[in-house]
Amino acid sequence: MDLRSIEAATEPIALFHSWLNEATASEPNDPNAAALATANWDGTPSVRMVLVKEVDRRGFCFFTNAESRKGRELAANPRAALCFHWKTLERQVRVEGPVLELPPEDANAYFHTRSRGSQLGASVSRQSRRLENRDILERLVAEYEMQFPNEVPRPAWWKGYAIQPRRIEFWIAGENRLHHRFLFTLQEDGWHKELLFP
């Protein structure tokens, strides 16, 4: 692992894109998958995997059911953290910051790139709520498919979010657990980088 590139980096988003490109070539499944941590109004945390679909000037963007547990927690406490882990490369990236809701046109555009089956499933799922049995879910999908034989409309509660990074940490595995950790913190005059103990 050539550490010189990360030691020379001054802008973490460009560095993240470089790492994601390498992960796309090396990881067998979903290199854009990350653990998303949220918390409710009293600070009780929860975590789950999401697919980060864009990383741009708005931040780290993902889409979900706003009525799910994560959606409700983001409404109550609009701050979150992500952790990408690329086992093959022995690297991690951690991201923390406030969360903003993306415009409806962004949610529409991404929703309609998904497979028809995924659109139908997302439309009928009452995500995170109790399901009596699997037959109910399958019946709801079949009924919705008949109701919308052509284009599936995006449900109003299926939204996009962007984590606006304030802290981004890059981690590289080291021998004897002497890992390499570089923390970028966004301050008024731009990104500041520091080296952390493992």
Last residue of a domain, one of 137, 153, 169: 153
Q: Does 167 qualify as catalytic in the annotation?
A: no
More confident residue, 28 or 62: 62
134 and 191 inside one domain: no
Mean pLDDT of 80-106: 97
Share of the chain above pLDDT 70, in %: 99
Contact residues for 71 (Cβ-Cβ < 8 A; gap 6+) = 64, 65, 127, 157, 159
71 and 121 inside one domain: no
Catalytic residue among 4, 57, 134, 177: 177
**Side chain identity, residue 146:** M
72 and 144 inside one domain: no
Mean pLDDT of 31-41: 97
Mean pLDDT of 72-101: 97
14 and 100 inside one domain: yes
pTM across the whole model: 0.92
Neighbour count for residue 93 (Cβ, 10 Å): 21
pLDDT at 6: 84
Q: How confident is the model at residue 2 (pLDDT cuts 50, 70, 90)?
A: low
86 and 163 inside one domain: yes
96 and 26 inside one domain: yes
Cβ proximity of 76 and 40 under 8 Å? yes
Q: How confident is the model at residue 62 (pLDDT cuts 50, 70, 90)?
A: very high
Mean pLDDT of 117-136: 90
Which CATH number do you get for residue 29?
Answer: 2.30.110.10
Tally the residues of the chain: 198
How many domains does the chain divide into? Answer: 2
94 and 184 inside one domain: yes
Contact residues for 174 (Cβ-Cβ < 8 A; gap 6+) = 180, 198
pLDDT at 129: 85
Average pLDDT, the chain: 94
147 and 165 inside one domain: no
24 and 96 inside one domain: yes
Cβ proximity of 126 and 136 under 8 Å? no
pLDDT at 126: 87
Collapsing DSSP states into helix, strand and coil, what is residue 177?
helix
Mean pLDDT of 103-123: 94
Domain containing 123 equals 113-153
105 and 117 inside one domain: no
Number of H helices, E strands in the chain: 6, 10
Q: How confident is the model at residue 28 (pLDDT cuts 50, 70, 90)?
A: confident
94 and 14 inside one domain: yes
Helix (H) or strand (E) holding 108: helix 104-111
pLDDT at 146: 93
126 and 87 inside one domain: no
d(CA 117, CA 136): 16
